[in-house]
Structures are given as structure tokens and as C-alpha cells.
Structure 1
Amino acid sequence: MILGDSLSAGYRMPIEQAWPSLLSDKLSEKGKNVTVINASISGDTSGNGLARLPGLLKQHTPDSVLLELGANDGLRGFPPQGTEKNLRQMIDIIQNTNTKVIMMQIRIPPNYGKRYTQMFSDIYPRVAKATQTPLIPFFMEKIITKSEWVKKDGMHPRKEAQPWIANFMATQLQPFL
């Protein structure tokens, strides 16, 4: 199950074109037979994810959960301590159901200032280490360098980038599934 925001929800595109919809085929090519549940909602913050998580776990009983949350916290200037607390709580909830959890590093644009962007980026490796949660790289770092892959808002991947993201994510997730 993927619990994320617009980066995983397929912002302004048919859901069939979004990378989570392509992921099971890419994992299949790598020898992993996986059903992907996309529980991502555009605009979600870590707090929204925390509120929805118990119901999603009960409804879907996934074997693994990928946490792709926090970007909207950072873009809204939320205190990093709150985001960190929410991520830790989500990981605790997931681990207490004997479900594997994987977290994706999230970064925000540098225009938020060096201090805030660094404080925000530092959350993820710290939480991963403290909770013994695998941390995978932020796929947007590769997308943002290709203008043909980024929407005019400068923040969301276009449909042309989705197959690459699906392959990247399959490669990153495979060892943990």
C-alpha cells in the first residue's frame, strides 16, 4: 500500500497513468508478484496520513506500506518536529500490525531557506534510523532536472515521467518486498 500525496496520487492525470498503477507490472518484471493499493490523496499532509492510516490498515491489511508523505507539510512551512512526530507515529502503528514499512525521503525546494530545508530533510534519515525503517531516495530529484517531465507548476511529474518513476520505485522497493 502506498500512503502518499499528489506525487503518488497522479496529480491532474488519469489514475491509470500514475506510477503506482504501473508499479505492479514493473515489480513483476523483477520477480515480485505484488498488488499495489494506492491510498494517496493530493494535498495530504503527514497529519492527514496519520488520521487515515488505522482505517486503511484495517480495510486493506497490506503486507507492506510505503510512506510518501511530508512534502505538503514542508511546502506549508509546518514545524519539522510535527512532521517527524507524525511519521514516527505512523511507523509505530504500521509496525504494531506486523506490517513492513518503507519510507521515502522527501525534500522541499531551496527557496524555503537553507536552515528550514535542511531541518526538514534531516527528519527522514533520523526517523529511519530510530525506527529501523528502510529509507529510499526521493524520485523527484531525478525528475526535476528534466523539464519535459515536470508540469508547469514545477513541482509535479507529468505523465511522461510516470513509467520512469514506476521503474525507479520498483528497483528501490524490490529488496524490501
Structure 2
Amino acid sequence: MGDSLSAGYGLAASQGWVSLTAERIAKTQPGWRVVNASISGETTAGGAARVAGELQRNKPAVVVIELGANDGLRGLQLAQSRANLERMIQAAQGAKAQVLLIGMRMPPNLGKEYTEGFERNYRELSQKYRTQLLPFLLEPVAMDRAAFQADNLHPIASAQPKLRDHVWTKLGPMLK
């Protein structure tokens, strides 16, 4: 469950980190299937509205939640984003799925209180629900302007393997 960062915005379908992860899983963990339920522009509210249907359709053992960036870019109240993420985690765990929560960071122009609270939401929810947590999806490429498309938001194709490898540090052990 993700936004454009997981949907592979601006890339061929096979180039995004989720597709690259699916390839790795097919080779290293036969029998696992990856469903990319990411939508460009998705918010935590959209994810919370869709999660029950996705859980029912796909019956996952592991749910990866990479949402919140669009909430932050729109300045959505932190409590709303948190409540939406919490509903998704509860739904996934209620369906007996393990959860990997992937966090995002906001630029400082939203103010220190907002940016710190935004990061704290992921950390606190992960602790409360005992999920796996990857604090910042873009960590391996965030400081490299050349790793991003012209919009300076979405990583280019050559950056996607770094994201896959970063996510794999938490996801790989969950598939054992």
C-alpha cells in the first residue's frame, strides 16, 4: 500500500523498487507473491479507505505501508495522518498480516514542530503495534539531487535498486 514512490511514478512498470523487490522475492523466496497496491497521489485517507478491500482480495501474510508523503506535502494535520495509518495497521494485523511501516520525512519549510511530529508518528505507531519500521524510504538517495526526476520528488530508475535494497533490510527477514 503506497503512493507514487511505490507506484513507480515516471518509470516503466518494471523499474520501480516494488517491481525490483518482486523479482528478488521470486528468486530468493519462491512461493511468495507481491501485489503492488500503490497509487500515485495516494494519501493515508485513501489507503485507509482501500485497505480492507485489498486485505480481503489478496489475503497477505505481510503488508508494507508506505504512505504519508502526500499528506505531509498538503500539510494535513498530523493527528489525521496518524489515525489513518493506525487504521491501516490495525486492519492488517486484524487480518493476521505482519506489517512493515515505511516512513517519510518532510522538508523543513513546514516548520520544526510539524516535521518532527511527522517522523514521530511512524516511530510511535511502530512501537505501539510492534511493527517493523523503516524510518525513511528515501534515506539512501535523499541527499543526491541527481537521483531524482526533474520534480525533485520522485527517484529516477537508477536509484530504485538502492531503495529496494534499503527496504529489503527490513522486509527480507519478515519473509522467512
Matched, 1:75 2:78: no
1:32 alignment partner in structure 2: 29
1:84 alignment partner in structure 2: 82
Cα distance change of structure 1 residues 39 and 104 upon mapping to structure 2, 3 Å threshold: same
Query: Equivalent of 1:133, from 131, 134, 141?
Result: 131
Distance 2:147 2:24 in 1: 19
2:17 alignment partner in structure 1: 19
2:3 alignment partner in structure 1: 5
- Which of structure 1's runs of 4+ aligned residues deviate more than 3 A? none
Which one is further off, 68-77 or 32-41?
32-41
Matched, 1:61 2:59: yes
1:154 alignment partner in structure 2: 152
Q: Which runs of 5+ in 2 are unaligned?
A: none
Kept in 2: contact 1:26–1:170 (CA 8 A): no
Kept in 2: contact 1:26–1:167 (CA 8 A): no
2:121 alignment partner in structure 1: 123
1:87-98 to 2 correspondences below 5 Å: 87-98=85-96
Report the identity percentage. Answer: 39
Q: Which runs of 5+ in 1 are unaligned?
A: none
Q: C-alpha displacement at 1:28, in angstroms?
A: 5.2
Q: C-alpha displacement at 1:172, in angstroms?
A: 2.3
Q: What number of residue pairs does the alignment pair up?
A: 174
Q: C-alpha displacement at 1:167, in angstroms?
A: 2.0
- SS of aligned partner of 1:103: strand
Kept in 2: contact 1:23–1:166 (CA 8 A): yes
Amino acid at match of 1:32: Q
Distance 1:172 1:149 in 2: 22
Distance 1:140 1:57 in 2: 26
Q: C-alpha displacement at 1:130, in angstroms?
A: 1.0
Kept in 2: contact 1:4–1:44 (CA 8 A): yes
Kept in 2: contact 1:144–1:154 (CA 8 A): no
Root mean square deviation, CA, Å? 1.4
Distance 1:39 1:54 in 2: 12
Amino acid at match of 2:86: R
